[in-house]
Protein backbone atom coordinates (compact mmCIF):
# COMPACT_ATOMS: atom_id res chain seq x y z
CA UNK A 1 0.00 0.00 0.00
CA UNK A 2 1.31 3.42 -0.97
CA UNK A 3 0.71 6.14 1.61
CA UNK A 4 0.47 9.54 -0.01
CA UNK A 5 2.04 12.46 1.77
CA UNK A 6 -0.54 14.96 2.97
CA UNK A 7 0.70 18.42 2.14
CA UNK A 8 -0.36 21.51 4.06
CA UNK A 9 -2.12 24.01 1.78
CA UNK A 10 -0.37 27.27 0.96
CA UNK A 11 -2.17 29.70 3.25
CA UNK A 12 -0.14 32.80 2.41
CA UNK A 13 -2.61 34.16 -0.14
CA UNK A 14 -5.51 33.64 2.27
CA UNK A 15 -3.57 35.38 5.04
CA UNK A 16 -2.87 38.43 2.89
CA UNK A 17 -6.53 38.63 1.85
CA UNK A 18 -7.56 38.38 5.49
CA UNK A 19 -5.15 41.20 6.35
CA UNK A 20 -6.64 43.32 3.56
CA UNK A 21 -10.16 42.65 4.84
CA UNK A 22 -9.09 44.34 8.06
CA UNK A 23 -6.84 47.18 7.00
CA UNK A 24 -7.66 47.93 3.36
CA UNK A 25 -11.29 47.04 2.73
CA UNK A 26 -12.57 47.23 6.34
CA UNK A 27 -15.02 44.60 5.14
CA UNK A 28 -17.23 42.57 7.47
CA UNK A 29 -18.01 39.99 4.79
CA UNK A 30 -14.27 39.48 4.29
CA UNK A 31 -13.78 38.94 8.01
CA UNK A 32 -16.58 36.37 8.04
CA UNK A 33 -15.08 34.66 4.99
CA UNK A 34 -11.53 34.40 6.29
CA UNK A 35 -11.96 34.07 10.08
CA UNK A 36 -13.66 31.28 12.01
CA UNK A 37 -16.63 32.17 14.18
CA UNK A 38 -14.89 30.85 17.31
CA UNK A 39 -11.64 32.67 16.43
CA UNK A 40 -9.26 32.44 19.42
CA UNK A 41 -7.60 35.71 20.39
CA UNK A 42 -4.33 36.18 22.32
CA UNK A 43 -3.92 39.95 21.90
CA UNK A 44 -4.37 41.01 25.54
CA UNK A 45 -6.65 43.94 24.72
CA UNK A 46 -9.13 42.29 22.33
CA UNK A 47 -11.90 39.92 23.46
CA UNK A 48 -11.85 36.45 21.93
CA UNK A 49 -14.14 35.46 19.07
CA UNK A 50 -14.96 36.89 15.64
CA UNK A 51 -17.73 39.25 16.73
CA UNK A 52 -15.47 41.58 18.77
CA UNK A 53 -13.17 41.85 15.75
CA UNK A 54 -16.06 42.98 13.56
CA UNK A 55 -16.67 45.78 16.03
CA UNK A 56 -13.20 47.18 15.33
CA UNK A 57 -13.75 47.68 11.60
CA UNK A 58 -15.56 51.02 11.77
CA UNK A 59 -13.07 52.65 14.19
CA UNK A 60 -10.14 51.38 12.09
CA UNK A 61 -11.71 52.76 8.92
CA UNK A 62 -12.46 56.12 10.55
CA UNK A 63 -8.87 56.37 11.80
CA UNK A 64 -7.46 55.40 8.41
CA UNK A 65 -5.48 52.55 9.97
CA UNK A 66 -3.52 50.67 7.30
CA UNK A 67 -1.00 47.84 7.29
CA UNK A 68 2.04 46.88 5.23
CA UNK A 69 3.28 43.30 5.24
CA UNK A 70 7.06 43.16 4.91
CA UNK A 71 7.57 39.41 5.35
CA UNK A 72 5.32 36.38 5.31
CA UNK A 73 6.29 32.86 6.36
CA UNK A 74 4.39 29.60 6.60
CA UNK A 75 5.21 26.74 8.94
CA UNK A 76 2.56 24.06 8.63
CA UNK A 77 -0.75 25.58 9.72
CA UNK A 78 0.96 28.71 11.10
CA UNK A 79 1.42 31.95 9.18
CA UNK A 80 3.86 34.63 10.37
CA UNK A 81 3.35 38.22 9.18
CA UNK A 82 5.95 40.92 9.84
CA UNK A 83 3.80 44.04 9.62
CA UNK A 84 3.90 47.77 10.12
CA UNK A 85 0.79 49.82 10.88
CA UNK A 86 0.07 53.49 10.17
CA UNK A 87 -2.52 55.68 11.92
CA UNK A 88 -2.52 52.94 14.52
CA UNK A 89 -3.34 54.84 17.70
CA UNK A 90 -5.79 52.06 18.56
CA UNK A 91 -2.77 49.75 18.81
CA UNK A 92 -0.69 52.09 20.95
CA UNK A 93 0.90 54.64 18.61
CA UNK A 94 0.66 56.45 15.29
CA UNK A 95 3.16 54.06 13.68
CA UNK A 96 3.59 50.53 15.01
CA UNK A 97 5.65 47.48 14.11
CA UNK A 98 4.28 44.01 14.78
CA UNK A 99 4.54 40.29 14.34
CA UNK A 100 1.15 38.70 13.73
CA UNK A 101 0.95 34.92 13.95
CA UNK A 102 -2.12 33.09 12.70
CA UNK A 103 -3.11 29.45 13.01
CA UNK A 104 -5.10 28.35 10.00
CA UNK A 105 -7.89 25.80 10.05
CA UNK A 106 -9.82 24.63 6.98
CA UNK A 107 -8.68 27.66 5.01
CA UNK A 108 -9.60 30.22 7.67
CA UNK A 109 -7.80 32.05 10.47
CA UNK A 110 -8.67 30.21 13.69
CA UNK A 111 -6.24 31.72 16.20
CA UNK A 112 -4.12 34.87 16.55
CA UNK A 113 -1.05 35.90 18.51
CA UNK A 114 0.77 39.21 18.12
CA UNK A 115 3.42 41.49 19.55
CA UNK A 116 3.50 45.23 18.87
CA UNK A 117 5.90 48.10 19.52
CA UNK A 118 6.08 51.75 18.40
CA UNK A 119 8.09 52.53 15.29
CA UNK A 120 11.12 54.68 16.11
CA UNK A 121 12.64 57.47 14.01
CA UNK A 122 16.25 56.41 14.55
CA UNK A 123 17.90 53.12 15.49
CA UNK A 124 21.39 52.41 16.82
CA UNK A 125 22.34 50.56 13.62
CA UNK A 126 20.76 53.01 11.19
CA UNK A 127 18.51 50.24 9.91
CA UNK A 128 14.76 50.39 10.33
CA UNK A 129 12.75 47.90 12.36
CA UNK A 130 11.39 46.23 9.21
CA UNK A 131 13.83 46.75 6.31
CA UNK A 132 16.23 44.15 4.93
CA UNK A 133 15.83 40.95 2.90
CA UNK A 134 12.33 39.53 2.47
CA UNK A 135 12.74 36.57 0.11
CA UNK A 136 12.30 33.12 1.60
CA UNK A 137 15.13 30.85 0.39
CA UNK A 138 16.79 27.57 1.44
CA UNK A 139 13.51 25.72 1.95
CA UNK A 140 15.46 22.48 2.30
CA UNK A 141 17.21 23.90 5.37
CA UNK A 142 14.09 24.86 7.34
CA UNK A 143 14.44 22.18 10.02
CA UNK A 144 18.18 22.71 10.44
CA UNK A 145 17.75 26.48 10.72
CA UNK A 146 14.98 26.10 13.30
CA UNK A 147 17.20 23.80 15.35
CA UNK A 148 20.12 26.26 15.11
CA UNK A 149 17.99 29.15 16.35
CA UNK A 150 16.46 27.05 19.12
CA UNK A 151 19.96 26.16 20.38
CA UNK A 152 21.04 29.82 20.14
CA UNK A 153 18.10 30.94 22.26
CA UNK A 154 18.70 28.14 24.76
CA UNK A 155 22.45 28.64 25.10
CA UNK A 156 22.83 32.40 24.61
CA UNK A 157 19.56 34.18 25.39
CA UNK A 158 18.76 31.87 28.31
CA UNK A 159 22.35 32.32 29.47
CA UNK A 160 23.16 28.61 29.73
CA UNK A 161 26.29 28.80 27.57
CA UNK A 162 26.74 32.36 26.24
CA UNK A 163 30.34 31.61 25.26
CA UNK A 164 28.94 29.49 22.40
CA UNK A 165 27.54 32.56 20.62
CA UNK A 166 29.98 32.32 17.69
CA UNK A 167 28.75 28.77 17.02
CA UNK A 168 25.40 30.28 16.11
CA UNK A 169 25.97 33.90 15.05
CA UNK A 170 28.20 34.92 12.15
CA UNK A 171 31.33 36.81 13.14
CA UNK A 172 31.39 38.47 9.71
CA UNK A 173 27.80 39.75 9.46
CA UNK A 174 25.10 40.35 12.03
CA UNK A 175 22.65 42.98 10.80
CA UNK A 176 20.64 44.34 13.71
CA UNK A 177 17.16 45.89 13.64
CA UNK A 178 16.55 46.20 17.38
CA UNK A 179 16.36 49.99 17.87
CA UNK A 180 18.84 50.00 20.78
CA UNK A 181 21.54 47.66 19.46
CA UNK A 182 24.28 48.30 16.90
CA UNK A 183 25.31 45.91 14.11
CA UNK A 184 27.66 42.99 14.66
CA UNK A 185 28.64 40.89 17.62
CA UNK A 186 30.45 43.91 19.07
CA UNK A 187 27.18 45.83 19.05
CA UNK A 188 25.37 42.97 20.77
CA UNK A 189 28.09 42.58 23.41
CA UNK A 190 28.10 46.34 24.01
CA UNK A 191 24.34 46.32 24.63
CA UNK A 192 24.55 43.30 26.94
CA UNK A 193 27.41 44.88 28.92
CA UNK A 194 25.48 48.12 29.35
CA UNK A 195 22.21 46.46 30.37
CA UNK A 196 24.05 44.23 32.84
CA UNK A 197 25.84 47.25 34.36
CA UNK A 198 22.45 48.89 34.87
CA UNK A 199 21.06 45.71 36.44
CA UNK A 200 18.48 45.75 33.66
CA UNK A 201 19.40 42.74 31.54
CA UNK A 202 16.53 41.01 29.75
CA UNK A 203 15.69 37.52 31.01
CA UNK A 204 14.31 34.77 28.79
CA UNK A 205 12.34 32.14 30.72
CA UNK A 206 10.38 30.05 28.22
CA UNK A 207 10.15 29.57 24.46
CA UNK A 208 6.55 28.97 23.44
CA UNK A 209 6.95 28.57 19.68
CA UNK A 210 9.68 28.23 17.06
CA UNK A 211 8.27 28.85 13.59
CA UNK A 212 10.29 28.96 10.41
CA UNK A 213 10.40 28.71 6.67
CA UNK A 214 13.70 28.42 4.85
CA UNK A 215 16.14 31.10 5.93
CA UNK A 216 13.76 32.82 8.40
CA UNK A 217 12.97 31.61 11.93
CA UNK A 218 10.69 33.29 14.50
CA UNK A 219 10.81 32.50 18.21
CA UNK A 220 8.00 33.52 20.58
CA UNK A 221 9.37 33.68 24.11
CA UNK A 222 8.33 34.79 27.58
CA UNK A 223 10.54 36.50 30.12
CA UNK A 224 11.27 39.68 32.06
CA UNK A 225 12.81 43.05 31.40
CA UNK A 226 12.81 46.06 33.68
CA UNK A 227 11.26 43.94 36.39
CA UNK A 228 8.12 43.34 34.33
CA UNK A 229 6.86 40.32 32.38
CA UNK A 230 7.59 40.61 28.66
CA UNK A 231 6.86 38.82 25.41
CA UNK A 232 9.90 38.55 23.15
CA UNK A 233 9.30 37.89 19.45
CA UNK A 234 12.64 37.43 17.64
CA UNK A 235 13.00 36.90 13.89
CA UNK A 236 16.33 35.57 12.65
CA UNK A 237 17.72 35.23 9.14
CA UNK A 238 20.10 32.31 8.71
CA UNK A 239 22.72 31.97 5.99
CA UNK A 240 25.21 29.13 5.55
CA UNK A 241 24.45 27.73 8.99
CA UNK A 242 24.88 30.99 10.92
CA UNK A 243 22.52 33.75 12.09
CA UNK A 244 23.25 36.89 10.04
CA UNK A 245 20.28 39.19 10.81
CA UNK A 246 17.82 39.91 13.62
CA UNK A 247 14.52 41.74 13.99
CA UNK A 248 12.46 41.79 17.17
CA UNK A 249 9.43 43.15 18.97
CA UNK A 250 9.30 43.29 22.76
CA UNK A 251 6.00 43.99 24.52
CA UNK A 252 5.04 44.06 28.17
CA UNK A 253 2.48 41.46 29.21
CA UNK A 254 -0.36 43.11 31.16
CA UNK A 255 -1.74 41.60 34.35
CA UNK A 256 -5.33 41.73 33.11
CA UNK A 257 -6.49 40.67 29.66
CA UNK A 258 -9.73 40.92 27.72
CA UNK A 259 -9.97 37.11 27.63
CA UNK A 260 -8.70 34.01 29.43
CA UNK A 261 -6.56 32.63 26.58
CA UNK A 262 -3.26 34.07 27.80
CA UNK A 263 -0.63 35.90 25.76
CA UNK A 264 0.82 32.66 24.37
160 and 88 in one domain? no
CA–CA distance, 129 with 243 (Å, rounded to integer): 17
Residue 264 placed within a domain: no
CATH number of the domain enclosing 203: 3.10.450.50
Average pLDDT, the chain: 94
Residue-number span of the structural domain to which 18 is assigned: 12-118
Residues 179 and 247 in one domain: yes
Digit-coded pLDDT (tens) for 93-119: 999 999 999 999 999 999 999 999 999
Domain identity same for 81 and 165: no
Claim to verify: residue 190 and residue 108 sit in the same structural domain = no
Is 240 contained in some domain? yes
Residue 195 has a pLDDT of: 83
Gap between the Cα atoms of 217 and 234, Å rounded: 8
Of 67, 89, 118, the last residue of a domain is 118
Of 85, 118, 151, which residue is a domain's last? 118
Domain count, the chain: 2
Report the share of the chain in percent with pLDDT over 70: 98
Which residues on adjacent β-strands are paired with residue 252? 230
Let me know the angle formed at the C-alpha of 40 by 37 and 41, rounded to the nearest 5 degrees: 120
Query: Residues 248, 163: one domain?
Result: yes
In a domain, 158, yes or no: yes
> Which of 88, 118, 148 corresponds to the end of one domain?
118
Dump pLDDT digits (tens) for 217-241: 999 999 999 899 999 999 999 999 9
**Together in a domain, 33 and 97:** yes
Q: How far is CA 38 from CA 13, 32, 108, 110, 112, in A?
A: 22, 11, 11, 7, 12
pLDDT tens-digit readout, 30-72: 999 999 999 999 999 999 999 999 999 999 999 999 999 999 9
Residue 165 domain flag: yes
Say what the pLDDT of residue 201 is. Answer: 81
Confidence of residue 5 (pLDDT cuts 50, 70, 90): low
DSSP class of residue 53? H
List the beta strands (DSSP E) in 77-188.
78-86, 95-105, 108-118, 175-176
Separation of alpha carbons 127 and 107, rounded Å: 36
Amino acid sequence: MVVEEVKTPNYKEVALKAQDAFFKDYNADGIKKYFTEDYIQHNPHVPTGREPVLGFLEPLKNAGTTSTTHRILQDGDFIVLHNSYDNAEAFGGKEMVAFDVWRMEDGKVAEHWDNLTPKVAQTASGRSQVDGPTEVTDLDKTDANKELVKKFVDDVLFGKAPEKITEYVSTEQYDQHNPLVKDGLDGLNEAITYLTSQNNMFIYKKVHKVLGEGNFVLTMSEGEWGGKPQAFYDLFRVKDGKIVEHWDVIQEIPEKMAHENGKF
